[in-house]
Structure 1
Amino acid sequence: MRFRIRHTTTDRYRRPVTLGTHRLLLTPRGDHDLRLLARELECEPEADLEWMLDVFGNIVATALFAEPACELVIAADILIEQLASEWPVFRIAPGAHSYPFSYSDDEAADLGALLCPIHDDENGALILWAKGFVLASPTDTLSLLKDIDAGITGAVAYRTRDEEGTQSPLRMLSLGSGSCRDIAALFIDAVRHLGFGARAVSGHLFDPDTTNGGSGGTHAWAEVYLPSAGWIAFDPTHQRVGSANLIPTAVGRCNGRVMPVTGGYVGSADDFAQMQVSVLVQPA
């Protein structure tokens, strides 16, 4: 299925400011089930764009601005084709069918920090919560991950949250609610405490039948690495497994490393007036 994505970020200032370097993660990652067919990225005022791949293979555009501005518009128009199955079959290595299992030495070395929880776990509360999903030992690995993916919304509810940053998992469990990036962060740290390699994903969701979690807009979810099967998408906000209708633009160790647009300006704090983000994802 083909999708067209239009992502526009508009920053407004009360007076002309000097725009700093902006890091843009707006181009979807091509892989075996997603093909990038066309890409346009425009900035107003005009920017000098430098392209690179970061350590995770994300397509990064660095925008350099030469003139002051009262308004900054960053607009991406993307055409992709997604081939992901609605009902995927994961070919997990026999030795990893049952949990607990051990990654090979090479896999553990390559996963590195993706095995380490990001947030503090005061008094072991989060690992205790995560272990509550392990009903037997050994148990089926994929079933365990699916149980955590589906069970998170029994502990926390989705809510739109415009504040910057990501809530810690313990705060999430305390408050009982959070955004999709908060829910993904809770899932990631929970499965890392159980020994899984996991990473954060940002991108877009297309699902006309779903009203929970910003369908058709920006979205955050997680991926877990299982031997032979590779990286498997888990979307705990919608209790889904697999990449169908998920369009990744960046992966990283944590949500803070995969934000679509980051950058600043030279001026006083009250120079900043407003930010608006508009996203449209539709079949092409």
Structure 2
Amino acid sequence: MQLTIKHCTRYQYARAIMLQPHRLIITPRDSGELFTVRRSLECVPPAEISWSADVFGNLIATATFAEPTRELTITSEAVVEHTAPEWPIFAISPDAHSYPFAYSLDDVVDLGALAQPDWLTPDPQRVGAWARGFVSALQTDSLSLLKDLNAGVLGDVRYRVRDEEGTQSPASTLELGSGSCRDIAALFIEAARHLGFGARAVSGYLFDPDQKDEDAGSTHAWAEVYLPGAGWIAFDPSNQRVGGSQLVPVAFARFNRQIMPVTGGYIGTPEDFEQMDVSVSVRASALSTQTHT
């Protein structure tokens, strides 16, 4: 399936200000199930754009501006070939079928902090206790446990649109009983780590075939869990889905805050900032949606 992705972020200011460099993580990341056909990145006012990779191998664009402006528009467009199956079969190593299991020494070292709960977050014990409530028996199926956790998050947490910056702590999400996709993903990730799994945060885009043209859309956040043999498996607790069939990853990290799509600042006062608008569309090409009779 071929998808066209357009991501536009627009900032407006009360007066002309000088923009500081902006860090952009908005370019789809290629994999065995995703191939970028073409892409473009444009800033208004014009910017000098340099490319680099972070410690996770994510593609980072840094935009540097030379002239003052009252408005900043960042537009990323990409066409990708997406081949993730809707009903994936995961070739999990026999040693990891039954939970609990032990990662190999190499996996333990390489996963590192991705398999460790964040003990500095508020009330980590509450998240751990909540996570262990999904373990139904001393010996249970590893993938089934993760599917139960993925499906069960929305039993205790209601999805809501949240425009505030940042991610709630997992304990706060449980306490409030609601959160955005990034809050729900962060809760799932922390719960998986408390259960001994290696897990990472993913930012990207969600393909919704029912999205209307007038719907501005948004970026999306989900999780991946590492199971030996199968590798990194996508879990989207906000939509109770497993696998990457409707997901277009952009970046992976230990926490959501490390892969915010657009970060940057300006020289001026807080009152200079007026508003920010974000619109995202992910559309299948006409060729991808045709059927034969």
Shorter-chain TM-score tier = over 0.9
Q: Can you give the 5+ residue segments of structure 2 that lack an aligned partner in the other structure?
A: 286-293
Residue by residue over 1:58-77, the C-alpha shift from the partner in whole angstroms, topping out at 9 and shown as x without a partner, is 11101011111110000011
In structure 1, what is the Cα distance between the partners aligned to 2:129 and 2:50?
A: 45
Q: Is there any run of 5+ residues in structure 1 with no aligned partner, and where?
A: none
Query: 1:43 corresponds to which residue?
Result: 43
**Distance in 1 of aligned mates of 2:217 and 2:230:** 28
Q: Which residues of 2 match residues 62-101 of structure 1 at below 5 A?
A: 62-101=62-101
Which residue does the alignment assign to 2:289? Answer: none
Give how far 1:148 is off. 0.2
Offset, 1:275 = 0.4
Decide whether the 8 Å contact of 2:13 with 2:70 is kept in 1: yes
Residue 117 of structure 1 and its aligned partner are, at CA, apart by: 2.2
Structure 2 matches for 1:1-284, cutoff 5 A? Answer: 1-118=1-118, 120=121, 122=123, 124-209=125-210, 217-284=218-285
**Root-mean-square deviation (CA), in Å?**
1.5
- 1:216–1:163 distance in 2 versus 1, CA, 3 Å: closer
| Contact preservation (8 Å) 1:121, 1:127 | no
Q: How many residues were matched structurally?
A: 282
Residues 174-227 of structure 1: CA deviation (Å, up to 9, x unaligned): 11111000000000000001111100001100123589xx99531100000111
Q: State the AA in 1 paired with 2:92.
A: I
> Matches of 1:276 and 1:11 in 2, distance apart?
7
CA distances 1:210-260 after superposition (whole Å, capped 9, x unpaired): 89xx99531100000111110000000010000001001111110101111
Letter in 1 for 2:32: H
| CA deviation after TM superposition for structure 1 residue 108, in Å | 0.9
Judge conservation of contact 1:206–1:215 (CA < 8 Å) in 2. no
Task: Tell me if the contact between 2:122 and 2:169 (Cα under 8 Å) persists in the aligned partners.
Answer: no
SS of 2:28's partner is coil
Deviation at 1:169, TM superposition (A): 1.1
- Helix, strand or coil at the partner of 2:73: strand
Aligned residues with identical type, % of pairs: 59
Task: Compute the TM-score of the two structures, normalised by the length of structure 1.
Answer: 0.96
Q: Aligned equivalents of 2:122 and 2:241: distance in 1?
A: 26
The one-letter amino acid of 1:266's match is I
Give, in whole Å, the separation in 1 of the partners of 2:124 and 2:111: 26
C-alpha distance in 2, partners of 1:216/1:263?
Answer: 22
**Cα distance in structure 2, aligned partners of 1:207 and 1:16:** 38
Q: Give me the whole-angstrom Cα distance separating, in 2, the residues matched to 1:219 and 1:75.
A: 17
